[in-house]
Chains A and B, each alone.
Chain A
Amino acid sequence: MSRIDVQQKVLAANSAVAEALRASFRTSGTLVVNVISSPGSGKTTLLEVTARALKSRLRLGGLDGDIATERDAERLRRAGIPARQILTGGACHLDARQVGKALGEEGEGLAGLDVLFIENVGNLICPTSYDLGEDFKVVLLSVAEGDDKPFKYPAIFARAAVTVITKTDLLPHVDFDLSAVREQVAALNPAGRFLVTSARTGEGMESWYALVEEELAAKRARTEMAVAP
């Protein structure tokens, strides 16, 4: 019997595609945000409200992963930004190849954006491992889901650069210890940003918009520095 030392990352093939996407997003100066949460946490609603608020000053677009329906992309288009659905046919996450294929098929419609939001399939586990060429991951947690989720799903809360608490307008109606969640996320991800929002009342939304615009400006400044003689 023979034994071979391989030392190859399981997701190396996905990572190679993701790096190619990342290079093309760098060239186009597009900030790419991978939005992850369980189903019903408010990913599409956050992006709808963001689209309405920022579309007059930024070119935004969306890719929406869904198992079976076109609903999410339709909602973003109604909010006034170009969007394409990626139907995963049952798969629980998006991978880099699907993102590249969707962008290629959409062509001009999703080219030259300032910000591309990739709304992943609703799931707190499976999307965690798949690099989509994004600049950063955002994880959403609605107050209706319960305040033990960061420790129950540590991988995504450790990796997402930004945690967005959603639906704070429901706080009077649910037992949700916001400070406990903040502590959990800080333990898993000391450098992560933590935002508290309600898309319905507008609470915290300005800090989310500011974060998106700051990250876009920072990415463009880095790109310019890299190409400067």
Chain B
Amino acid sequence: MGLGAFASGRADADPSILGAVHEVGLAAEIYRIARDAAEARGGGRLEAVTVVVGDLAAVEPDLLDFAWNAVIGGGPDEGARLVVDWRPARQRCAFCGDVAERAAGSWLRLCPGCGEPLAVIGGDELEVRTVEFLEKTA
């Protein structure tokens, strides 16, 4: 079942689906932004939408993809691809620069080089970057 009702802001969308994960709401927003962008250029079928998602955006790419397909399923843009451009958060030392490596899921408090406290840089990106669509033929 598609989520067109939710994407178009109707109140009768099925709340059990909406509540499942917040990725559903995000996918619906991404779809709205992409559709608006295509409409502003005369409209046409969506082919691919690229979103930038940061490590610390609290978004699971697989769930976002699943939600995307639920949102566009059964509608005119069914089959359009969602491309996730994943951006890791970096840890940076004011003296030594970026920390090159750390174990997955682990974060360092102090610089392995000089022992100074590290800062966390970036990773909170959540942005629609590009929209590709097939123009309507005249």
A residues sitting closer than 8 Å to B (CB atoms) are 1-13, 67, 88-93, 95, 125-126, 128-130, 151-152, 154-156, 158-159, 183-184, 186-190
Contacts and interface: CB of A to CB of B under 8 A. Distances in A.
Contact of B19 (A89, A128, A188, A190): A89
Given A1-B134, A8-B33, A187 B127 contact: no
A contacts with B: majority SS: mixed
A4 B19 contact: no
B37 A187 contact: no
Q: Which of B55, B56, B57 has the most chain A CB within a 10 Å cutoff?
A: B56
B37 A151 contact: no
A38 to B, nearest CB: 13
Contacts of B22: 91-93, 125-126, 129-130
B96 interface: no
B131 interface: yes
A91 B15 CA distance: 7
B67 to A, nearest CB: 12
B57 to A, nearest CB: 6
B36 to A, nearest CB: 9
A2 B132 contact: yes
A158 B90 CA distance: 12
B105 A151 contact: yes
A60 to B, nearest CB: 28
Contacts of B120: 158, 187-190
Contact of B108 (A7, A90, A187): A187
Nearest to A95: B25
Contacts of B58: 125-126, 128-129, 155-156
A10 B126 contact: yes
Nearest to B117: A190
Interface string B100-138: 000001111100000001111001101111111111000
B128 to A, nearest CB: 5
A28 to B, nearest CB: 28
A55 to B, nearest CB: 33
A160 to B, nearest CB: 12
A187 B57 CA distance: 17
